[in-house]
Structure 1
């Protein structure tokens, strides 16, 4: 009985020590692990190779692991991946999450793209449901690696198929005949150009000479224009200045004449209304007097001076003339 009691006591003590060792190990793990933060990443692509416990690295440095993987109930197109990373990890605005695959089939999540001085990714105080639908901050995804290639494989295959169909249309029998005809025409044109090579060279030489002559002519025209400008500046400009002075003098004389006419306008009006009628009357009187004098002169010519004082003497009667 005493031996059996000793064994039970030793077993109990050993069991207690093992439990204490396990608790101490957990406590050390918590102390060494420090605090951790959780983030969600919504991938709109296949997450093959990811599993709970898959490593999470930041620029190649291990910082955490995948906590959970599930379809997002609000939109099954997205896969929600819950990450748990160390508290000191610089998950700032601009940080993105990328699935990196490997040939072994195991995938990891890499975080990168943090900008120095940017604020950390966190849920806003107002309307947190929009940016944090599951209650934790969201890291935007970034397509990359084998997963991105596999996700874009259907579109790539479709484009390759379309390109193949278009190449088949281009290389049809009809188009091949057309291409062959174009090549034949090109060959004939090349042969014709080769035959006319000397003529083309001569034409190019003449063209070069013509261009040189045109350049010389342009230079001469420029010199002539410069000479013409000098003549205009030296000879014509003084004449133009003299003409401008003459025009200014004539304008001044015209202004003076206008002022004189304006000053003489009242006298001209009186002259036209009073003097001119009197002159007309005087002219009429002069005409009447001239007529009377003409009549007197005629009488003097016919009858002498006596015609002015009496009647004309009657001729004597002669009976013999009867």
Structure 2
């Protein structure tokens, strides 16, 4: 029986930043990535994990199972672009910026995620967390979106299915934003059960999509394998998160009986994030993780998505519940 948890972090993924003025994109900074790792070290979590170094080698074909070749070829050209060319290229997409090093970092993020999938599936460790940047769950087949270049979790699910002949993969999204890129990838696929809770407020919160509502349950053979839980108000607490798991996700997840669990782990659904405006305490994510661990014989990969807190998430004032 495998034991222990693996953690992957490569500071190289912090080596890109916004090179021009853009009020929308200025919140995506290297520090949000590095402070996450520093917090893990400060609280003694990193030292209890098996440290895994990035170095996974994969071919272009892995990308092509999800992304269009035209999009991949376009992104591959960004390391050679001037700042002016990067600005123009970025404007083709929504709420995202490109840098000469972002293609390299995005491939590192994908490789790190796949590396941990291998570690879990080969039972070298019981579970793992990939601290990666850029995040991925908004990116789509032919488009970067909201700071996401390549869809790390979607590629990981496709890779795990093909490499290990899996028939059932569960993806849990607890980011405060809907991971529409993941939904689009698997909405016709009954081998992937996708659950996402997200701030919605009757479609007035980004990404403002009708398909982010509870009525979007998948299409064709995938009907019933897409589960959206849209929050229509802010201030959701620990109790709300636990209720969502106990009453919505877990009954379906146990019936689905996954062979691998992937988590799109954005922490902007916790108290302290200025845009999420939620009130769940950071500790709740430990409880949610524990609730998922009995599934798939404990084979679980948690992949960082996004959060905008300034590094003081662990020290915010706790409200009285």
Under TM normalisation by the shorter chain, which class is it? Answer: under 0.3
TM-score (norm 1): 0.15
Find the structure with the greater CA-based Rg.
1
TM-score (norm 2): 0.15
Q: Which structure shows the higher helix fraction?
A: 1
